[in-house]
Structure 1
Amino acid sequence: MALLVVYALLCLFGWISLYFFLCVVNGSRGGEWNCRLVTLLHGILAVCITGYIGYVDGPWPFTYPGTKNTPLQISAMVLSLSYFIFDMGWCVYFRTEGPVMLAHHTVSILGILLTLWLGESGIESCAVLFGSEITNPLLQARWFLKQTGHYETLLGNVVDVVFVLLFVLMRVFVGGTMLYCELSSPRPRFFIKCGGVAMYALSWVFMVDIVRFTIRKSKAWQKRLKDKHGEERVAVAVNGQEKKTD
């Protein structure tokens, strides 16, 4: 356990060092821009590592929940644990996130700590990391597009659509299936099951915000279409009037 603490502290130092390095070489962009670059890197790393664990290294999380942690699972969890501690500290210090995101980070930190302490259910934790982080690059892409003035474009619309579809698929349907397998299996500990319920409940809290966002986005698209059609009708009427005058 002492070795895990040292590993986690080294990883935390690595995330902090990366952030300050980006602030030095990319200082004109501001702290949040550089923090989101760190977040983007963690999301990509977490998805790649946990995807390999689930689909290649095994075991299959839907069939074998509650099994002993493997060295690769431990490495992935410590890497993400150190990142969540870094990001939690950054968000609290700069007060950039609301209670829901802070609750998500808190549950993630406690869940990973519990899994590492028990020495089991690492495959479920890695599956949850995969499902929660797979939409993270898209979320960061939306923010970067907004900051650079490219959000109201076709690329921005594609990112939004893919983000919503992927979130619903992974967090609601796949996450719900994972939770059912977790609760129905006799192997996982009671506290691990409680953590799974908490994470799934938070997913539905996020889902409410996504539904509201989708409704606003749909209304905005409809308004643009109406405005566009109205402009086209005006143009046709003006052209027709000019022809009559000629």
Structure 2
Amino acid sequence: MMFFIILQVFCSLLTWLSFYRGLRRWQDHRAPEWSCRLVTLAHGLIVTFLSGYIALVDGPWPLTHAGHPNTALQVCLMCLSLGYFLFDLGWCLFFGNEGDLMLSHHLLSVSGLVLVLLLGKSATEVNAVLFVSEITNPLLQVRWFLREAGRYPSLAGDVVDFLFVVLFVALRIVGGAWIMRVVLASTQTFWMLKMGVLVMYAVSWAFMLDISRFARRKVKKRRSAWQRGAEPPKSNGHLPTC
């Protein structure tokens, strides 16, 4: 069983790496980050759909079955995401373009996925964490591509920012608190995973503080521009990747 899990993780890592290499050849005139962002966008969309399906349709329900044995579909998703996070962590370390907070987020994700695969249980709550974490990721990538295309200072950029903030607060902060409470109260969840979920939620709040500062600056600039009767100032749309 463990050999099969290791094989799935290896195949996942190879798939994401091959996808990245293919994009690099296709978009060789662009910077490596362009291809990496496309890989991240694909992972975010796939994992959001699969984790949502597992939590809401296939089951079990994470708020009542924390610490239960992993299902076959959950294991597949954990292996798929673990392969991606290993790829992305290696990419970030190689290019050195991410700060300590993002690297900590990646290390926590890798550690949590490895732990549930080794234990054979608690994928239910990790699947829920993946869902609330990854659902905002595609919006981050869309913002980056809008910025690169010079189209971020527009209605599309404002809509993406608004949806990102709303989803982050509703799911990652409010929903994350609900999941954390259930995990900490569970008698079947391993204590190391409880600590990991707690630290991951703290990381979400660190991201939230940065997002709040960004939102305040953007609102002030917009208000100032409107008061002057000028066009809203352009912003580079930079936000921490989470």
User: TM-score surpassing 0.5?
Assistant: yes
2-side partners of 1:188 and 1:198: how far apart?
Answer: 15
Task: Give how far 1:229 is off.
Answer: 6.5
Single out whichever of 183-192 and 157-166 deviates more from structure 2: 183-192
* Aligned positions of 1:6-45 closer than 5 A: 6-45=7-46
Render the CA deviation track for 1:83-111: whole Å, top value 9, x for unaligned. Answer: 00000000111011100000000000000
Counterpart of 1:244 in structure 2 is: none
Counterpart of 2:228 in structure 1 is: 227
Structure 1 length-normalised TM: 0.92
* Aligned positions of 1:189-204 closer than 5 A: 189-204=190-205
1-side partners of 2:26 and 2:38: how far apart?
Answer: 13
* Aligned positions of 1:18-167 closer than 5 A: 18-167=19-168
Opposite residue 37 of structure 2, the aligned amino acid is R
Q: SS in structure 1 opposite 2:50? A: helix
Unaligned 5+ runs, structure 1 = 231-246
- Greater helix content: 1
Render the CA deviation track for 1:198-237: whole Å, top value 9, x for unaligned. Answer: 110111111111111111111111122112169xxxxxxx
2-side partners of 1:210 and 1:76: how far apart?
Answer: 29
Render the CA deviation track for 1:139-170: whole Å, top value 9, x for unaligned. Answer: 00110000000000000001001101100111
Task: Give how far 1:184 is off.
Answer: 1.2
Structure 1 runs of 4+ aligned residues shifted over 4 Å read none
2-side partners of 1:14 and 1:207: how far apart?
Answer: 32
Q: How many residues align?
A: 230
Percent of paired sites with the same residue: 47
1-side partners of 2:8 and 2:65: how far apart?
Answer: 27
Counterpart of 1:239 in structure 2 is: none
1-side partners of 2:11 and 2:64: how far apart?
Answer: 33
1-side partners of 2:107 and 2:36: how far apart?
Answer: 18
Task: Give how far 1:6 is off.
Answer: 1.2
1-side partners of 2:90 and 2:221: how far apart?
Answer: 36
Task: Give how far 1:191 is off.
Answer: 1.0
Q: SS in structure 1 opposite 2:68? A: coil
1-side partners of 2:30 and 2:37: how far apart?
Answer: 11
Structure 2 length-normalised TM: 0.93
Counterpart of 1:182 in structure 2 is: 183
1-side partners of 2:116 and 2:214: how far apart?
Answer: 34
Counterpart of 1:2 in structure 2 is: 3
RMSD (Å), alpha carbons:
1.1
2-side partners of 1:39 and 1:101: how far apart?
Answer: 14
Task: Give how far 1:10 is off.
Answer: 1.0
Task: Give how far 1:189 is off.
Answer: 1.2
